[in-house]
């Protein structure tokens, strides 16, 4: 039976507004990690202003003031440097409207608009992060939003109940829990269709990781970050650490300071077209040798199309593009976690016959500069019996001379950088060594190119996968040898073998520069390392089995089920699942129905009777409040005024239709009278 005093008030109550503002803050908070952080103070100011309005200490903002505030918000987004048609700008505008909406919430229907926008923003948040923590936070946000929705449909008496907050949160949680079985069933069996539209990505500033133009300091900066790049699980035996060269980009052009893919500025689409026309992908250029290696990779979002694989990778997903220089590209920028299944032949020979276009790119040098290196290359090549002998001579030089591997090399300026590194500073990072090595090869007329990507990775024993992070970024060289094709050479390994065999941390142990800018990095504290690996293992499982559950995974699961079951048992299983869900709902709804609500005035009167009972004044079940007040006053004359006043107020609330605001004053008076009976 519905309490006769419960009614849907058009005017939003103070407690309902507090619930609404709390829900807004919870929804907006995670966006501070991805969008301008000043959006949160804007929300707090709007909240403070709205509370003052409810208390009567400030006036409701007028139309012109609302427009002025909105204009300031739009100007703030523009000053923040976001493009007008970008995802970040659109979401920021939506968040501004969400925050400012609280200033004009007067009626319950206004509160409904805010709650429904909040639901939409919870979903939008997964465009920025799809981690397991983001999923858990999204569930919390849904619970609080639903609790705010419930609170704004309650009367003032219900909101003032002592257990109102707990009751609202409990009911909200129970509603979500009731939806869980159907959510799982829909997730597993609902067909997955390609989206009818996608959100365009304009955020160049969101690009992370290895880029298509490299100067020596770029990879050194990446080496100071422990951000995850991708995770790999192998189908079979894991290769040795020194064999894990994750190829990303091939850089052919050197302008005297930086390395880039080509001598012109190409975007990812134009680059793919260029390689299709001049150096198309062909499996006939590969001579397969040895056993293949199969593995799965889950890439983190980078805003770039580059994917990192072992070379050469032959069996790949249809969503990727293979280029003639053996790099792998996604057909679109990687803006969400990306799963790739690949197969590689580590011992295969590549390009035994070198194309003319590829040869030209692999021999290109600037027209001037680094004369000392050019002369040295000619002299050393004349002293060598073959190209391979010359390559080994240059590699040996890095061990014979006093070269050092460091994250803190001296600056080389803008000209003659190869000369200064090879013959003066002799201190550098992998790009210094790979770049100077490729230059020496080309100066001697031997085709060579720089390859950038990642080397090695950290094995997670709990999850049985390899985690590759930004500090694993690396650069090495490829040299074309007649009769052998492209061969990998890593001059960094000659200077610092521990970088190739054991990783960056051990290679830099002598100077202590590994992750020096991150004091609380888990790699620096042994007690944090185990926790980090366990959390990372859980996150990997989430990415692989939840985010990676696509149409192909669903088809494989259904095919497995269909192969094991005939049509009749399968139909019976599906029917049983749905029947089970409906039975679960009926049981839960029946349990909820038993939880009868007790109005706040009845709760206070029950306390009133208990306090009188402690003094021996017992209320009989058939006695009305008026009759009991007369009897209690006669038995406790010192408190007769208090007893009569409390009973009178209680009866007025029960039988007189007063406004909610009047009820608030009555409840306050009843609590004061109760305190006098202690």
Helix or strand (DSSP H, E) at 329: strand 328-330
Same domain flag for 224 and 135:
no
pLDDT value, residue 570: 66
Q: How far apart are CA 349 and CA 345, in angstroms?
A: 9
Same domain flag for 522 and 623:
no
Q: How far apart are CA 644 and CA 670, in angstroms?
A: 11
Q: How far apart are CA 42 and CA 165, in angstroms?
A: 26
Residue 543's nearest CA partner among 530, 553, 528, 557 is 553
Distances, alpha carbon 241 to alpha carbons 173, 296, 405, 464, in Å: 47, 17, 19, 15
Q: How far apart are CA 527 and CA 631, in angstroms?
A: 70
pLDDT value, residue 3: 43
Residue 565 in domain: no
For residue 433, give both structure tokens: 């060594």
The string over 154-165, giving b where at least 16 C-beta atoms fall within 10 Å of a residue's C-beta and e elsewhere, is: bbbbbbbbeebe
Q: How far apart are CA 491 and CA 392, in angstroms?
A: 10
Helix or strand (DSSP H, E) at 655: helix 640-655
Give ∠ CA 674-677-678 in degrees, rounded to 5. 100
Identify the active-site residue in 387, 490, 536, 663: 490
Structural contact between residues 306 and 327, judged by C-beta atoms closer than 8 angstroms: yes
Residue 1 in domain: no
Q: How far apart are CA 222 and CA 656, in angstroms?
A: 72
Confidence of residue 2 (pLDDT cuts 50, 70, 90): very low
pLDDT value, residue 519: 45
Residue 75 in domain: yes
Structural contact between residues 171 and 150, judged by C-beta atoms closer than 8 angstroms: yes
Give residues with Cβ within 8 angstroms of 152, minimum separation 6: 12, 13, 16, 19, 20, 108, 111, 112, 115
User: How many other CB atoms are found less than 10 A from the CB of residue 483?
Assistant: 7
Confidence of residue 374 (pLDDT cuts 50, 70, 90): very high
Instruction: State CA 239 to chain mean position distance.
Output: 29
The string over 615-649, giving b where at least 16 C-beta atoms fall within 10 Å of a residue's C-beta and e elsewhere, is: eebebeeeeebeebbebbbeebeebeebbbbbbeb
The residue among 559 and 402 whose pLDDT is bigger is 402
For residue 390, give both structure tokens: 């010359």
Same domain flag for 418 and 312:
yes
Identify the active-site residue in 430, 432, 536, 663: 430
Residue 327 in domain: yes
Residue 557 in domain: no
Q: How far apart are CA 649 and CA 663, in angstroms?
A: 10
Domain around 32: 14-159
Same domain flag for 357 and 492:
yes
pLDDT value, residue 160: 59
Count of structural domains, the chain: 3
pLDDT value, residue 376: 93
Structural contact between residues 354 and 364, judged by C-beta atoms closer than 8 angstroms: no
pLDDT value, residue 75: 81
Same domain flag for 617 and 500:
no
Span 495-540, pLDDT tens digits: 888 777 666 666 565 555 555 555 445 455 565 667 777 777 888 7
Residue 490 catalytic?
Answer: yes
User: How many other CB atoms are found less than 10 A from the CB of residue 586?
Assistant: 10
Residue 260's nearest CA partner among 245, 249, 272 is 249
| Complete edge-to-edge strand list for the sheet that includes strand 328-330 | 306-307, 328-330, 320-322
Structural contact between residues 465 and 233, judged by C-beta atoms closer than 8 angstroms: yes
Span 322-350, pLDDT tens digits: 888 898 988 888 877 888 889 999 889 99
Span 36-81, pLDDT tens digits: 888 888 878 887 887 777 777 777 777 787 778 778 877 887 777 7
Same domain flag for 155 and 212:
no
β-partners of residue 477 are 450, 489
Instruction: State CA 299 to chain mean position distance.
Output: 12
Span 404-455, pLDDT tens digits: 888 778 878 778 889 999 998 888 888 899 999 999 999 999 999 999 999 9
Final residue in a domain of this structure, among 483, 502, 535: 535
Residue 80 in domain: yes
3-state percent helix, strand, coil for the chain, nearest multiple of 5: 55, 15, 35
Check pLDDT > 70 for residue 262: yes
Q: What integer best gives the mean pLDDT of the chain?
A: 80
Same domain flag for 219 and 127:
no
pLDDT value, residue 661: 56
Residue 609 catalytic?
Answer: no
Same domain flag for 210 and 155:
no
Distances, alpha carbon 326 to alpha carbons 84, 140, 279, 349, in Å: 37, 45, 10, 12
Confidence of residue 363 (pLDDT cuts 50, 70, 90): very high
Burial class (CB in 10 A: 0-12, 13-18, 19+), 493: buried
Final residue in a domain of this structure, among 133, 159, 185: 159
Same domain flag for 149 and 223:
no
Span 392-403, pLDDT tens digits: 999 999 988 888
CA-CA-CA-CA torsion sign (219, 221, 225, 228): negative
Identify the active-site residue in 88, 218, 419, 474: 474
The residue among 678 and 15 whose pLDDT is bigger is 15
β-pair type (427-428, 404-405): parallel
Cis, bond preceding 312 (omega within 30 deg of 0): yes
Same domain flag for 223 and 366:
yes
For residue 624, give both structure tokens: 């009305």
Same domain flag for 152 and 220:
no
Residue 572 in domain: no
Residue 587 in domain: no
Check pLDDT > 70 for residue 383: yes
Instruction: State CA 181 to chain mean position distance.
Output: 26
Same domain flag for 634 and 530:
no
pLDDT value, residue 205: 42
Mean pLDDT value across residues 209-230: 70
116-130, 190-204, 226-240, 634-648: segment of lowest average pLDDT: 190-204
Give ∠ CA 131-136-137 in degrees, rounded to 5. 95
Give residues with Cβ within 8 angstroms of 649, minimum separation 6: 666, 669, 670, 673
Structural contact between residues 313 and 321, judged by C-beta atoms closer than 8 angstroms: no
Q: Would you list the DSSP string of 73-121?
A: HHHHHHHTT--TTSHHHHHHHHHHHHHHGGGG--BHHHHHHHHHHHHHH
The string over 509-545, giving b where at least 16 C-beta atoms fall within 10 Å of a residue's C-beta and e elsewhere, is: eeeebbbeeeeebbbeeeeeeeebbeebbebbebbbe
Distances, alpha carbon 501 to alpha carbons 88, 245, 514, 529, in Å: 42, 12, 16, 21
β-partners of residue 394 are none
Check pLDDT > 90 for residue 390: yes
Final residue in a domain of this structure, among 501, 535, 569: 535
Mean pLDDT value across residues 190-196: 61
Distances, alpha carbon 104 to alpha carbons 98, 100, 108, 136, 159, in Å: 11, 8, 11, 31, 22
Give residues with Cβ within 8 angstroms of 322, minimum separation 6: 281, 313, 316, 328
Mean pLDDT value across residues 475-487: 94
Residue 474 catalytic?
Answer: yes
Give residues with Cβ within 8 angstroms of 571, minimum separation 6: none
Distance separating the N- and C-terminal Cα atoms of the chain = 34
């Amino acid at each position: 039976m519905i309490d006769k005093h419960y009614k849907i008030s058009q005017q939003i109550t103070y407690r309902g507004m507090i619930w609404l503002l709390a829900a807004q803050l919870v929804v907006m908070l995670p966006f501070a990690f991805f969008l301008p952080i000043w959006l949160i103070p804007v929300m707090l100011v709007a909240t403070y202003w709205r509370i003052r309005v409810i208390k009567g200490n400030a006036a409701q903002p007028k139309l012109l003031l609302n427009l002025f505030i909105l204009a300031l918000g739009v100007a703030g987004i523009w000053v923040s440097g976001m493009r007008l048609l970008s995802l970040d700008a659109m979401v920021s505008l939506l968040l501004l409207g969400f925050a400012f909406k609280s200033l004009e919430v007067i009626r319950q229907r206004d509160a409904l608009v805010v709650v429904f926008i909040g639901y939409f923003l919870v979903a939008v948040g997964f465009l920025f992060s799809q981690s397991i923590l983001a999923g858990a936070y999204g569930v919390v946000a849904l619970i609080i939003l639903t609790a705010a929705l419930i609170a704004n449909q309650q009367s003032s008496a219900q909101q003032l109940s002592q257990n109102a907050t707990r009751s609202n949160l409990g009911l909200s949680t129970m509603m979500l829990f009731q939806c869980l079985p159907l959510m799982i069933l829909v997730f597993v069996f609902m067909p997955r269709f390609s989206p009818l539209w996608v959100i365009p990505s304009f955020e160049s500033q969101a690009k992370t990781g290895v880029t298509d133009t490299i100067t020596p300091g770029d990879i050194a900066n990446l080496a100071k970050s422990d951000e995850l790049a991708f995770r790999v699980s192998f189908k079979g035996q894991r290769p040795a650490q020194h064999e894990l060269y994750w190829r990303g980009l091939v850089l052919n052009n050197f302008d005297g300071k930086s390395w880039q893919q080509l001598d012109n500025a190409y975007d990812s689409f134009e680059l793919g077209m260029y390689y299709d026309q001049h150096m198309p992908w062909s499996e006939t250029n590969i001579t397969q040798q040895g056993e293949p290696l199969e593995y799965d990779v889950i890439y983190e979002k980078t805003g770039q199309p580059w994917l990192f694989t072992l070379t050469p990778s032959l069996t790949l997903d249809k969503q990727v593009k293979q280029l003639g220089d053996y790099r792998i590209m996604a057909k679109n920028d990687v803006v969400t976690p990306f799963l790739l299944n690949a197969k590689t032949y580590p011992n295969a020979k590549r390009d035994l016959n070198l194309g003319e276009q590829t040869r030209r790119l692999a021999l290109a040098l600037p027209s001037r500069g680094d004369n000392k290196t050019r002369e040295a290359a000619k002299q050393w090549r004349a002293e060598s019996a073959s190209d391979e002998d010359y390559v080994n001579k240059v590699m040996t030089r890095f061990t014979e001379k006093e070269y050092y591997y460091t994250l803190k090399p001296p600056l080389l300026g803008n000209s003659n950088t190869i000369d200064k590194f090879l013959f003066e500073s002799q201190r550098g990072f992998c790009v210094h060594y790979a770049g100077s090595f490729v230059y020496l090869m080309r100066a001697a007329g031997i085709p060579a190119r720089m390859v950038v990507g990642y080397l090695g990775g950290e094995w997670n024993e709990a999850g049985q996968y390899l985690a590759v992070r930004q500090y694993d970024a690396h650069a090495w060289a490829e040299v074309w040898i007649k009769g052998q094709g492209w061969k990998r050479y890593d001059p960094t390994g000659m200077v610092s073998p521990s970088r190739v065999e054991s990783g960056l941390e051990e290679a830099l142990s002598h100077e202590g520069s590994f992750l020096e800018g991150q004091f609380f990095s888990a790699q620096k504290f042994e007690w944090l390392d185990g926790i980090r690996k366990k959390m990372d293992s859980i996150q990997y499982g989430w990415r692989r089995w939840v985010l990676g559950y696509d149409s192909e995974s669903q088809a494989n699961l259904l095919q497995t089920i269909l192969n094991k079951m005939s049509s009749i048992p399968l139909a019976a299983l599906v029917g049983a699942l749905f029947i089970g869900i409906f039975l679960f709902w009926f049981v839960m709804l029946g349990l909820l129905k038993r939880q009868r609500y007790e109005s706040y005035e009845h709760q206070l009167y029950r306390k009133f009777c208990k306090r009188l009972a402690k003094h021996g004044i017992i209320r009989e079940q058939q006695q009305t409040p008026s009759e009991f007040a007369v009897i209690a006053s006669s038995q406790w004359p010192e408190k007769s005024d208090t007893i009569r006043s409390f009973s009178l107020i209680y009866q007025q609330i029960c039988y007189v239709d007063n406004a909610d605001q009047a009820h608030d004053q009555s409840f306050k008076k009843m609590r004061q009278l109760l305190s006098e009976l202690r």
